[in-house]
Every structure is written in structure tokens, then in C-alpha cells.
A = this chain, B = another copy of it.
Amino acid sequence: MEAIKNYISEHKERFISELIDLLKIPSVSADTAFTQDVLDTADAVKKALTDAGCDAVEICETDGYPIVYAEKIIDSALPTVLVYGHYDVQPADPINLWTSPPFEPVIKKTDKHPEGAIFARGACDDKGQMYMHVKAMEYMVRTNQLPCNVKFMIEGEEEVGSSNLAIFVANHKEKLANDIILISDTGMIANDVPSITTGLRGLSYVEVEVTGPNRDLHSGLYGGAVANPINILTKMIASLHDENNHITIPGFYDNVEELSKEERAEMAKAPFSLENYKNALAIDAVYGESGYTTNERNSIRPTLDVNGIWGGYTGEGAKTVIASKAYAKISMRLVPNQDWKEITDLFKKHFESIAPEGVKVVVKPHHGGQGYVTPINTVGYQAASKAYETTFGKKPIPQRSGGSIPIVALFEKELNSKTILMGFGLDSDAIHSPNEHFGVWNYLKGIETIPYFYQYYTELFKK
């Protein structure tokens, strides 16, 4: 299959420019200011899937943003791969920290991407990685090498919790029936250390509001005499971790899977340099739960982070005010066996219970999802591993990720299929951050690797 390399080489410029066009549409699902852009992106994805040779490409309406569905069924005796991805992106702010505008993609070289990387919101998460599948499909269809049936399901609400996708999946089990689900929305260790993600953390995302007095007050006249919602909020949030950085919510750890010494020793073999990690982030020390390594803290352990906080006067200069309200967005990353709805309830109950007299507290659950662990002894994993080995020249390492793709656990439940997470991004690609990018090499490598997965999976499946 040197053919794929030649095909990529021939169409490389077009593959890049098509992705750049897709990245220009600001499909920020979290912000209603971008509603039309998100809808336009769905249309663009529909067109791309049609051009790639899919049949029955359709925009499936939901109560939120639509799901783009497509399929190419060549023989019902052959296995069916369901490709999932998302066309929505994270908000771009803080915009002022971008070195180029988030929706005006440019290619720049970086230390890790000497062949250049495409800088744009969504470049890696997930437009770029999703589009690899579209281009791999194009190659397989145009060269008559598609070895099995394929279905595409590309949604527009991954960054806001996929709640409508969950309904869609539950209502279309037959339409979505498949043998294996393939997703590229994760990363790998390094360009010369390929890896396959075998675990994802779950997520519970909430917003809290603390209300004190019914109006903003002069901090001189009222300071010290009434509960200041910001001070209270800081106290409440601070109390959520103890001095060992364990989370203090009663029951939080009840169902946490404890890995054996052997499993932890196996994990510790993954290449990792604490010095490089600290240098890349410009921090003088790491920080986290006592008793666990950095790689354990961000993969096998649950966490609680404030993602945003605001209240009072945040403009230029000084204002001596006691705010009436203070807010925070808080998310918890969960590990397998922790149920996100149960954890959300535990958080809400606990957070409300620690509110002192003098304030009112509201906890509003945003969204969440279960954690997931993929077994590595399946045909799907073996096909993926062999595909990486073919194109990277070395066997990929199985690796647990700290991130969440809430829908993966749901797929298993509703569609009874395992998911293979073939990610081609790097941790340093700044997804969810300013200056998100995706290596051109990685993009093309993904397009090259995916057809091998189809080939090997179909071969192994037959056996």
C-alpha cells in the first residue's frame, strides 16, 4: 500500500487547504453568538462527506446542533466501522493571547512540528482529526480499496456535553449499528512514540453561584459586617481539597478503581521526563494529590478544577465594592466506576451544605459523562496497533488519557460496541488553549494510517 503515500503526496496541498477552509468557520458551540457558524459548519461537513464518496449523507436535526450522518455500505457480510467526530470547537478566548487570529488559520513551524503546524481553534480538536477520516475515506473510495462498510456520525455539541447526541444514539440504534467505533479525538505521546488511548476520564461540570446581599455594597460601609460572596466562594472552593490535595466531598472516592502495584509499575514505564514537562509549562514544580505520580494524577485519579471564576469589579483600577454575587465553573474528571450523575449529586449536596449563613448557594449541573477503559485484547485494538506499526515503524504504546469523551461510555451501552481511540495530536498542541495547532505531519500521518486500520480490521474480523 505505497499507494496511499503517493496519493497523499499528490493531494497534500488540497488536503491542507480544505481543512483550512473548515477551520475558518468559528463553530463555537458554547456561545450562541456563533449559532449560524455552527450550522454552516455542519453543511460544510455534509459537503465534504459527499465529495469523499459517502452515500446517504444527511443533516440530522436535534434539539441542539445537528448531527451529520453518512454511510457507505458495500456488503452486509463485511464488518461496519462507525466513525465519530465533532465539528464544533471550544471558545477561542482569551483571544489576546493568540499569536494569530483563531479563525484565520496559518501554518507555522514549531520545535515539535518542524514541518509546520496549522494554527487555528479546532485544528487538532477536532476538525483536523475528524477530517483525516474524511480524506482517508476519499482515498479508499476513489481507489476502490474500501474493505468494509463505513458510517460517519459527526456532531456539533461535543464541547458542550453531547446531550442531544445521546438522545440521537438511543433513538437510532439500528441506523448506527456497527462492529467497531473509531474516533480520533485524543493524542499520542510523541511523533516518534506512537500510542493508543485505552482509558478516558469521566466528567462532571457544574456552575456555582453564591449570593450575599441583594445589591453590590460599599466595602467601607459594609466590609466585615456581611458575608462577602467572593470571600465565601474562595473559602468554599478551598475546602474542596485537603492538605494532601485529596477531594473532600463525602463519598467522592467510594467507587474509584484502585490500580494494583503491578499496573502502576507498568504505567510508570511510559517514557516521561518531569524536567521536560515542567520546562514546557514554565513551572518550578508540579502539584497534585499526595502519593501519586504526575502521570497517575492526570489519568487514573479523579480531580476537581475550577475552570473559571468571577465576581465583583474586574475592570481597570480600583473599586471598593462588596459584590452581591460570585460565580465559578468547576469540573471534576472522573475515573472508571465513578458515575458522573452520582458525583454531580454528591458535589451539589456537599457544596450547598458548606455554605455559611448569610449567603445562598445555587449549584447548576452543566453536563458530564462516564469514564471509559478499552481492553487491548480485542480485534479492534490489534488492528489499530498494527496500523500504527505499519506507518510509524514501531508498535504503539497503550496509554490512559486524562481527558474525557463523555459519549464513549454511552456508545458502549447503547450500541454495544467498543471504541478505538486513534489520536494523532500531541499534548503540546494547545487544545482548549490559545494557539491551538495540529502538525501537518500528524494530519497526513493520520490520513495514511487510517486505511490500514480498515484493512487490518476487516482481515482480523473475518477470522
A: residues with CB less than 8 A from B are: 29-32, 90-91, 93-94, 97, 159-161, 187, 201, 203, 205, 207, 212-228, 230-231, 233-235, 237-239, 241, 281-289, 294-295, 297-298, 301-324, 326-329, 331, 333, 356-359, 366-367, 401-404, 427, 430-435
Contact = CB atoms under 8 A, between A and B. Distances in A.
B205 A320 contact: yes
Contact of A282 (B203, B214, B286, B320): B214
Given A230-B306, A285-B357, 4 more contacts: A31-B316, A97-B324, A213-B282, A307-B312
Contact of A305 (B201, B215, B219, B308): B219
A161 B282 CA distance: 36
A308 B317 contact: no
Contacts of A215: 97, 281, 430, 433-435
A107 B404 CA distance: 55
Interface majority SS on A: helix, strand, loop or mixed?
loop
A159 B315 CA distance: 14
A357 B430 CA distance: 23
B307 A308 contact: no
Contacts of A433: 215-218, 321
B212 A283 contact: yes
A283 B226 contact: yes
Contact of A307 (B93, B307, B318): B318
Contacts of A328: 230
Nearest to A293: B225
B402 A223 contact: yes
Nearest to A219: B305
Nearest to A317: B30
Contact of A225 (B93, B187, B302, B402): B402
Contacts of A311: 306, 308-310
A308 B298 contact: no
B226 A31 contact: no
Contacts of A301: 224
Contact of A231 (B220, B231, B305): B305
A30 B435 contact: no
